[in-house]
Amino acid sequence: MKHKIWLYILAISIVFLWGATFVNTKVLYNAGLHPLDIFIIRFVIAYLCIWTISPRTLWANSWRDELNMVWLGITGGSLYFLAENYAVGLSLVTNVSFLVCTAPLVTVILGLAFVKSIKASWKLILGSLVAVIGVGLVIFNGHFVLHLNPLGDFLALVASFAWAIYSLLMKKISNQYSAIFITRKVFFYGLVTVLPIYLFEPWTTSWSMLCEPKIWINLVFLGVIASFVCFLLWAWVIAKIGAMKASNLIYLNPVSTFVTSAIFLDEPITIMSFLGSAFILLGVSIANKAKGI
C-alpha cells in the first residue's frame, strides 16, 4: 500500500510539471519561436539525454512491437505535441488546457470500446464526469466565457485523442519492455515522423534567439525535465498502476497550469478555481477506485 502511495505521488508530480508546460510553450511562442521548432528542440534535447542511460539495443523483439513503438512516437510525440503547440499559438492557453485535459475521458471511452480487460463501472464514469466538471471550473475560473478559435480548439482535441491512444498503446507494451527503451523509441520516432513537415515549413529559430536566457531556460525545462525525466517516469508509472488510473490523473493538469500562470503571467486564482480543484480531486479519487482499470 505504501509503495502505491509513492507511485501516485510520483504520477501527480509528473502531471503538475506537465501542467506548467502550457505556460513554457506560450512564453516561447510569444518570444518568436515556431511551434514546430519548439517540438524539435525539445525532443532533440530529450533524445540526447536518454542515450546516456539507455541500453544500446536498437530494435524491439518483433516487427509488430517495433510498429507499436512507431505509433507511440506519433501519438505521444509528433502528433500530440505539434497539435498542442500550434493550438497554444492559435487559441487561449485556458482553452487548450481544458480541451487537452479531456484525454482521460477519451481514454476511458476508447478503452471501453477496444480493450476487453477494461470494464465500465459507475465509479469510473461518475469519477470521470466529476473531474471534467472540475476541470471546467478551474479553466473558466468563474468567467464561463469560452473564446473560440475553431482551428486552435480543434487541434487541442486532436492532441487529446492522440494522448488517449498513446496511453492505451502504452498499457499494451509497457510490461514487455523497459521504460527507458520505450521512452527512447518515443523520442526517436517522434522526431523522425515530424521531419517531413520541414519540406513545407522552414526552420525559423536563430542562434541568437537560443542564446536568450528566457528561451534556453524554458527549452531546457521542456527537454530535460518535462520530456526526458517525466516521459521516462510516466512509462514506468503506467506499467505499475495501469494506463487508466494513470490517465485519470491528467485531470489534475489544469490546477498546475493555473498556479504557474498566476506566478509567471500574473493571472488571478479565484474561489472558483479552488472549487474546481476540489471537484478534480474528488473525481480522480472516485475513478481510481473503480475495478477493472
Per residue, what are the HEC states of the chain? CHHHHHHHHHHHHHHHHHHHHHHHHHHHHHCCCCHHHHHHHHHHHHHHHHHCCCCCCCCCCCHHHHHHHHHHHHHHHHHHHHHHHHHHHHCCHHHHHHHHCCHHHHHHHHHHHHCCCCCCCHHHHHHHHHHHHHHHHHHHCCCCCCCCCHHHHHHHHHHHHHHHHHHHHHHHHCCCCCHHHHHHHHHHHHHHHHHHHHHCCCCCCCHHHHCCHHHHHHHHHHHHHHHHHHHHHHHHHHHHHCHHHHHHHHHHHHHHHHHHHHHHCCCCCCHHHHHHHHHHHHHHHHHCCCCCC
pLDDT score for 214: 92
The 10 Å CB-count burial string (b at 16+, else e) for 217-226 is ebbebbbbbb
CA distances from 252 to 102, 139, 150, 285 (A): 11, 11, 25, 11
pLDDT score for 270: 66
pLDDT score for 78: 94
- Cβ–Cβ under 8 Å, residues 166 and 52: no
Query: Which three cell numbers mark 243?
Result: 494506463
Q: Which of 181, 183, 156, 170 is nearest to 245 (CA)?
A: 170
Whether residue 151 is contained in a domain is answered as yes
pLDDT score for 171: 79
Query: Mind listing the pLDDT tens digit of every residue in the chain (293 residues)?
Result: 556 788 888 999 998 899 888 888 888 998 999 999 999 999 999 999 999 998 778 899 999 999 999 999 999 999 999 999 898 887 767 667 777 777 777 777 787 767 666 666 777 777 777 877 776 776 665 454 455 566 777 888 899 899 989 988 987 888 889 889 999 999 999 999 999 999 888 899 999 999 999 999 999 999 999 999 999 999 888 888 887 778 778 777 777 777 777 676 666 566 766 677 677 767 767 766 665 55
Whether residue 3 is contained in a domain is answered as no
pLDDT score for 119: 64
pLDDT score for 144: 46
**Domain count along the chain:** 1
Domain range holding 79?
A: 10-289
- Cβ–Cβ under 8 Å, residues 102 and 276: no
Say what the pTM is.
0.80
pLDDT score for 80: 93
Whether residue 5 is contained in a domain is answered as no
Backbone dihedral region of 107: left (phi > 0), alpha (psi from -120 to 50 degrees) or beta? alpha
Whether residue 260 is contained in a domain is answered as yes
